Amino acid sequence: MRRLENRAAIVTGSGRGIGRAIALKLAAEGASVVVSDIDPEPAEQTAAEIQSHGGKAITHVGDVTSISFGEDIVAATVEAFGGIDILVNNAGFTWDGVIQKMSDEQFQAMIDVHVMAPFRILRAAIGPIREAVQREKDEGREVFRKVVNISSIAATGGNAGQVNYSSAKSALAGMTRTLAKEWGRYRVNVNSVAFGFIETRLTQAFEDTGNALEIGARTVPAGVPRAAIEQIPQLCPLGRAGTAEEAAGAVFLLCTPESNYITGQTLICSGGLE
Active-site residue list:
165
Distance CA 124, CA 129 (A): 9
* Strand 8-11 versus strand 32-37 pairing type: parallel
Residue 101 and residue 270: Cα distance in Å, rounded?
Answer: 29
Query: Residue 204, class by beta-carbon neighbours within 10 Å (0-12 exposed, 13-18 middle, 19+ buried)?
Result: middle
Instruction: Name which of 72, 76, 112 is nearest 218 in CA terms.
Output: 112
User: Residue 34's beta-bridge partner residues?
Assistant: 10, 58
Nearest to 199 by CA among 249, 251, 246, 242: 242
Show the CA angle centred on residue 92, arms to residues 86 and 12, nearest 5°. 30
